[in-house]
Amino acid sequence: MAYQYDDQNIFAKILRGEIPNQTVAETDHTLAFSDIYPQAPVHVLVIPKGPYVCFDHFAAEASDAEIADFHRVAAQICADLGVAPGAGGMGYRTISNAGEHPVQEVPHYHMHILGGRPLGRMLQKAD
Ligand code: AMP
């Protein structure tokens, strides 16, 4: 596996403070902010601060501390925003696009958290 991280991607610019964001949560390893084009009432992006292109890159090369922190921040956001079923919410969907087929637009690993309305089934069946 050989990923080349492009440090000019828009989330790298957000992490460097060159582009503003609506921060939802931040730790030493992780940043979460509102998606600029929300697809649902809750649409938050969770990103590691390290230079990882996509999920499998992150899982292979990030430290255990980064991986644990990322997931704990994401889960806490689901609870805080009232969508976690375990906290009485109506549920949420997490999505992480990697590469061409799912149309990853930004080549810095991110998890979408979507909720706040019925989201329908995950995918439409292809013809
Ligand atoms: P993906 O297609 O999975 O790479 O998703 C990229 C997401 O980043 C899209 O949902 C965009 O709306 C979102 N996005 C792009 N630029 C920004 C930005 N400056 N601030 C917040 N979200 C952004």
Atom of ligand 1 nearest to the CA of 14: 19
100 CB within 6 A, ligand 1: no
The reply to whether 110 belongs to the active site is yes
What pLDDT does 125 receive? 81
Lowest-confidence range among 41-45, 98-102, 117-121, 122-126?
A: 122-126
Distances (CA, A) of 4 to 19, 31, 79: 22, 21, 34
By residue count, the chain amounts to 127
pLDDT confidence of residue 59: 98
Which tokens go with 45?
């992006």
Q: Are 49 and 17 in contact (CB under 8 A)?
A: no
What's the predicted TM-score (pTM) here? 0.97
102 lines ligand 1 (CB under 6 A): no
Q: Which atom of ligand 1 is nearest to the CA of 35?
A: 22
Render 58-120 in DSSP notation, one character per residue: HHHHS-HHHHHHHHHHHHHHHHHTT--GGGT---EEEE---STTTT--SSS--EEEEESS---
CA of 37 relative to ligand 1 center, distance in Å: 7
> Residue 106: CB within 6 Å of ligand 1?
yes
The burial of 107, by beta-carbon neighbours within 10 Å (0-12 exposed, 13-18 middle, 19 or more buried), is given as buried
3-class SS of residue 28: coil
pLDDT digits (tens, 9 = 90+) for 65-118: 999 999 999 999 999 999 999 999 999 999 999 999 999 999 999 999 999 999
Q: What value does the mean pLDDT of the chain take? A: 97
